[in-house]
Structure 1
C-alpha cells in the first residue's frame, strides 16, 4: 500500500533538513569570512630616550649635534594569522634631511599579538644644511624631528591563504637636549 501522508511527511522532513543544512553552512561561511578578514597591522613609537647627546649651539661656530636614540616601538597584529615582515629600516629626518638611519631585522608577529622592538639610531647633524631655522632650533634646546619606517610582509592564515600587507609609520617628535628625551611623539 502506498501512503501519501507518509510520503508528504518524509518530503517535508527532507526539505527542513536541507534548509537547516543550508542555514548552518551560511552561518559557518559568514563566521569564517569575519575571522579571515585581513586588517592592517599597526606600528607605533611608544617612547624613546637618548643615552648620549652632544651639541654645540654657540654663536661663534656652526651649530652641530650628535645623538644616539633608543626608540621603543610596537607592531600590533589584529589578524587571526601570523604577520611576517621583511628586513626594513627606520629613518629620522630634520627639515626633510635624513640625519639618521638604522636597519630593522625582519621577524614575525603572532596572531592577535603585539611585538615590541627596540631600535638604536645614531643622529648626526652633518647632513643638515645650516640655515637660520637650524641655528634657532639649536639655541632653543629642542629639534623637531620626523621618523619614518615601512614594514612589508605577509599575513598567513592556516598555511592556506597569504595576503601581502605593508605598514607605514611616520611620527613627529621633539628632541630635547636638556632632558635627553624625545617628547610630544605623534604617530
Structure 2
C-alpha cells in the first residue's frame, strides 16, 4: 500500500509546484492585460480621431450661425423698411382721398321738383289774360362735406321773356351731404303781357302756356369750421301750363 501511494505522488515535487505557479500566473496576468487593452480601445474610440478636423467643424458652424443671424437681421430690416413704405403710402392715399373728397368744394344744386296748381283763370281771344296760383317744391342739394348757408334770393317767372311773377326765398342752411326741401306759393299774372301779342293769342287758343323760372342762389360752404368757400348755383327750369286740364307738365330743370 505504501508503495502504491508513493507511485501516485509526483516524482518531482519542485517541478510540479513550479508548474502550478506558472499556470496561476498565466491566468492572473492574461486577463488583466486583455481588459486593459479593451478599455484602452474604448477610450480611443471616444476620443476624437482628428482634432484638427473637429476644430474646422466648430469654426464652420460658428460661421453658419453668424451668417444666419445676419440674414435674419437683414430680413427684419427689410420688413421694417417695407412697413414704413406701406404706412407712408397709406397715409399719402388717405390724405389724397381726404383732399379730393372732404376738402373739395362742390356747387350745390337748386331745383324745382314739383308744382301743384291751386287756381287757374284764362281769358278768351277778345279778352286775353291768365292768372295762375300754384305751390312749388324747391330743393337745395348740398353735396359737400360741410354745411351750405345761402342768402335771401328771388325766383323770377317768365312768359316769353316777360316777367309774370316772382317767389321770395329766405336765407337758410343746408347740412353736409343733405337736401333741404321747402314749399313756396306763387302767383302768375299776364298784366305785363301785351294783349295784342300774336304768340300770346296762339298759346291761349292752343291751351298751353310756356313758363320759365330763373334764379341765382348765393351762399358759402364751410368745412371743419375753418375752410370756407363762396358758391353760387343757378336755377333754370321750364314748364307748360295746360289750360283745359288745369295742370302743369313737362317740368325740366337744366
Question: Could you tell me the TM-score, scaled by structure 1's length?
Answer: 0.87
1:70-109 counterparts in 2 under 5 A? 70-109=135-174
Shift of residue 174, structure 1, vs aligned partner = 0.5
- Which range is displaced more, 65-74 or 166-175? 65-74
Larger radius of gyration between Structure 1 and Structure 2: 2
| Aligned-residue RMSD, C-alpha | 2.2
**Partner Cα separation in structure 2 for residue 169 and residue 73 of structure 1:** 10
Provide the residue aligned with 2:202 in structure 1.
136
Question: Could you tell me the TM-score, scaled by structure 2's length?
Answer: 0.65
Provide the residue aligned with 1:153 in structure 2.
219
Consecutive unaligned residues in structure 1, runs of 5 or more: none
Shift of residue 167, structure 1, vs aligned partner = 0.9
Shift of residue 129, structure 1, vs aligned partner = 2.2
How many equivalent pairs are there? 183
1:54 aligned onto 2:121: yes
Deviation per residue, 1:39-68 (Å, 9 max, x gap)? 221122211122112221242x3x111111
Provide the residue aligned with 1:173 in structure 2.
239
**Partner Cα separation in structure 2 for residue 24 and residue 51 of structure 1:** 58
Tell me the secondary structure at the aligned position of residue 75 of structure 1: strand
Shift of residue 148, structure 1, vs aligned partner = 0.9
Structure 1 contact 101–122 (Cα < 8 Å) conserved: yes
Provide the residue aligned with 1:67 in structure 2.
132
**Partner Cα separation in structure 1 for residue 216 and residue 246 of structure 2:** 26
**Partner Cα separation in structure 2 for residue 16 and residue 140 of structure 1:** 76
**Partner Cα separation in structure 2 for residue 99 and residue 19 of structure 1:** 65
**Partner Cα separation in structure 1 for residue 238 and residue 109 of structure 2:** 16
Tell me the secondary structure at the aligned position of residue 31 of structure 1: helix
Provide the residue aligned with 1:113 in structure 2.
178
Task: Report which of the two has the higher share of helix.
Answer: 2
Shift of residue 18, structure 1, vs aligned partner = 4.3
Shift of residue 16, structure 1, vs aligned partner = 4.4
Shift of residue 24, structure 1, vs aligned partner = 2.9
Provide the residue aligned with 2:88 in structure 1.
22
Task: Report which of the two has the higher share of strand.
Answer: 1
- Runs of 4+ that moved beyond 3 A: 5-18
Shift of residue 19, structure 1, vs aligned partner = 2.8
**Partner Cα separation in structure 2 for residue 181 and residue 49 of structure 1:** 7
Tell me the secondary structure at the aligned position of residue 191 of structure 2: helix
Structure 1 contact 49–180 (Cα < 8 Å) conserved: no
Shift of residue 11, structure 1, vs aligned partner = 6.7
Tell me the secondary structure at the aligned position of residue 112 of structure 2: strand
Tell me the secondary structure at the aligned position of residue 79 of structure 1: coil
Provide the residue aligned with 2:23 in structure 1.
none
